[in-house]
Amino acid sequence: MGTDIHETFEQMIDETLAGNVEREKEESLRRHLQDCARCQEYLAASTRVIAGLRGFSFDVDPASQAKVCAVMRQRAQQMEAAPTSGRRMAWISIAALILTVGGSFVDLQFGGLIASAFDIQRAQMQQGVIAFGIVPSLCLLILIPILLKLSAGGTGRQERIR
Amino acid sequence: MFEYDMALVAGLSSNTRQIAVRLRQGNVSLLEELVGQYQYRLTRYLIYLLGTRDGVDDLVQETWLRVLERGSSYDGRSRFEPWLFTIARNLAIDSMRKRRIFSLDSKDDDAERDISAQMPASNAPSPFTLAARTEDAERLAGSLEALQPIYREALVLRFQEDLSLQEISAIVGSPVATVASRIRRGLRTLREGLEGGNHGN
Beta strands in A15-161 (DSSP E): 59-60
Query: Which chain A positions have a beta carbon within 8 Å of B137's beta carbon?
Result: 52-53, 55-56
Other Cβ atoms closer than 10 A to B158: 26
Largest separation between any pair of C-alpha atoms in chain B: 57
Spell out a b/e string for A8-19, using b for 16 or more CB atoms within 10 Å of the CB, else e: bbbebbbbbbbb
> How do the domains of chain A map onto residue ranges?
3-53, 83-154
Under 8 Å CB-to-CB from B80, ≥6 apart: which residues? B12, B13, B16, B19, B34, B74
Whole-number Å distance between alpha carbons of B75 and B19: 9
Q: Which of A6-15, A20-29, B110-119, B151-160 has the lowest mean pLDDT?
A: B110-119
Residue of A nearest to B172 (CA): A160
Report which of residues B148 and B117 the model is more confident about: B148
CB within 8 Å of A142: residues ≥ 6 apart: none
From the number of C-beta atoms within 10 Å of its C-beta (0-12, 13-18, 19+), residue B173 rates as: middle
**Distance between A135 CA and the closest CA of chain B, angstroms:** 35
Average predicted confidence (pLDDT) for chain B: 83
Q: What is the DSSP string of A97-132?
A: HHHHHHHHHHHHHHHHHHHHHTT--HHHHHHHHIII
Q: Look at residue B192 and tell me whether its pLDDT is greater than 50.
A: yes
Residue B146 contacts residue B65 (beta carbons within 8 Å): no
Element holding B199 (H helix, E strand): helix B176-200
The more confident residue out of B9 and B51 is: B51
Give the residue, B90 or B118, on which the prediction is more confident. B90
Tell me which chain A residues have a C-beta less than 8 angstroms from the C-beta of B156: 53
The amino acid that residue A39 corresponds to is C
CB contact under 8 A, B159 and A54: yes
Q: How far is B87 from chain A (nearest CA, A)?
A: 6
What is the C-alpha to C-alpha distance for residues A65 and A68, in angstroms, rounded to an integer?
Answer: 5
Q: How confident is the model at residue B110 (pLDDT cuts 50, 70, 90)?
A: low
Provide, as residue numbers in chain B, all residues whose Cβ is less than 8 Å from the Cβ of A49: 136, 140, 187, 190-191, 194
Name the band, by pLDDT with cuts 50, 70 and 90, for residue B9. Answer: very low
Q: CA nearest B47: which of A40, A140, A57?
A: A57
Give yes or no for a contact between A115 and A77, defined as CB atoms under 8 angstroms apart. Answer: no
How many other CB atoms are there within 10 angstroms of residue A20's CB atom?
Answer: 18
Cα separation of B166 and B163, whole Å?
8
pLDDT tens-place string over residues A117-160: 887 777 877 787 778 777 877 787 778 777 766 665 544 444 44
Q: Check if the interface score ipTM surpasses 0.85.
A: no
Report pLDDT digits (tens) over A54-93: 989 999 888 889 999 999 999 988 888 766 666 677 777 7
Could you say which of A51, A65, A73 has the minimum Cβ distance to residue B136?
A51
pTM of this prediction?
0.71
If you ran DSSP here, which 8-state letter would residue A56 be given? B
Three-class SS of residue A59?
Answer: strand
In whole angstroms, what is the distance from residue A117 CA to residue A112 CA? 9
| CA closest to A75 among chain B residues | B65
Check residue B5 and report its DSSP letter. Answer: -
Kindly determine whether residue B69 and residue A79, on different chains, have CB atoms separated by under 8 Å: yes
Cα-Cα end-to-end distance for chain A = 49
